Structure 1
Amino acid sequence: MLRYTLPAILLHWLIALLIISAFALGVTMVDIPGITPTKLKYFSWHKWLGITVLGFASLRLLWRLGHKAPKYPAVMPDWQRSAAHGLHALLYVLMFAIPVSGYLYSLAAGVPVVYLGVLPLPAVIDANPEWKPIFKQIHYWFNMTLLTMFALHVAAALKHHFIDRDGVFKRMLP
């Protein structure tokens, strides 16, 4: 059985954990009424997670460009291979698009992003009340798309493990 490299496996699971955490925190923080110290803290943590995802996604993409993914089993139908490639491509796009859209939303809202409370990120756009709701909606819909693609990814992995028993799932296990 061909497997992914250890760095690819570690980055996959680390990024997955960070994305799940950022998503859960995002859902939690927007449900807190008003502006409270806890809500502000959660917004900061959410942004820090997003920036961290962006950094690790960049490392993962660089690693992936230099290391081919293991081939799918020969018994896997062509349509499943195509669907898997498309899904993975979309997941990569979203790993970049979601943090960038959140960053732009924050800047459009006039809120600077300071990574871990110590490293101010450059303001690539000025505060803009007209752009704020647009970036907010983009960020939201990218996240809803990611949630759907994540569910498909997990369902496909479980199908390969429990139904097909073709080793596809085990390629990404540590």
Structure 2
Amino acid sequence: MNDRYSSAQILLHWLSALLVICTLSLPYAQDWLADWLGGTGGVFTLHKSLGLTILLVTSLRLLVRARHGAPQLLADDARWQRTAAKLAHAALYVLLLSMPLSGLLFGKRPLELFWLLTIDPLAVSDTTRALARQYHLTAKYLLFALILGHAGMALWHHYRLRDGVLRAMLPRRS
């Protein structure tokens, strides 16, 4: 039984974490970053570009996970914990895939992907745009809660249970 995630899984996990933190922070830091990024439009160009990068990285993560699986880190008598962890991870993956897609759906202007490539807005009804926008803004709070819970449980396993769950997702020390 493997007690660690693969190197690719670890890299993609921490890359995802960095991208999500940056993407979620950008709208809150727009006053500070607007001058540096050419105005508030530049802040949202970066926000949307990072969001699409999250979509790509999450898709890649799912492919790598399908190939490598996940280590069984919890004891057999902790079935409820395994179930809760699987549900929380599934919810995180759903949000990491659906939030960039909902962002694409409600955008009315062309998206400048990292100022290199223009993606035209999708042709959808105003009702669909409104629903996508509401989903995007509401899902943000669910994502905040899941991230806090995910990090909190990792720390609880590491410091309270000392069971190696967090170490399984940390790079190996040389």
Shared fold (TM-score greater than 0.5)?
yes
Instruction: Give the equivalent residue in structure 2 for 1:160.
Output: 157
Identity %: 37
What do the CA deviations read for 1:43-70 (whole angstroms, capped 9, x no partner)? Answer: 1010111011111111111111111100
Partner SS for 1:143? helix
Partner SS for 1:114? strand
Please state how far the C-alpha of 1:20 moved relative to its aligned partner.
0.4
Give the unaligned 5+ runs of structure 1.
none
**Which of residues 115, 118, 121 is equivalent to 1:120?**
118
Give the unaligned 5+ runs of structure 2.
none
Matched residues in 1 for 2:27 and 2:77: separation?
A: 37
The number of aligned residues is 167
In the TM superposition, what are the counterparts of 1:13-162 in structure 2 within 5 Å?
13-29=14-30, 37-74=38-75, 77-106=78-107, 110-126=108-124, 128-162=125-159
Instruction: Give the equivalent residue in structure 1 for 2:170.
Output: 173
TM-score (norm 2): 0.87
Which residue identity lines up with residue 75 of structure 2 in the other structure?
A
Matched residues in 1 for 2:120 and 2:126: separation?
A: 19
| Structure 1 runs, 4 residues or longer, greater than 6 Å off | none
Partner SS for 2:39? helix
Matched residues in 1 for 2:122 and 2:133: separation?
A: 17
8-17 or 69-78: bigger deviation: 69-78
Matched residues in 2 for 1:3 and 1:133: separation?
A: 42
Whether 1:6 and 2:4 are equivalent positions in the alignment is no
CA RMSD between the two structures:
2.2
What do the CA deviations read for 1:109-145 (whole angstroms, capped 9, x no partner)? Answer: x21112122222354324x444433222110111111
TM-score (norm 1): 0.87
Which residue identity lines up with residue 18 of structure 1 in the other structure?
L
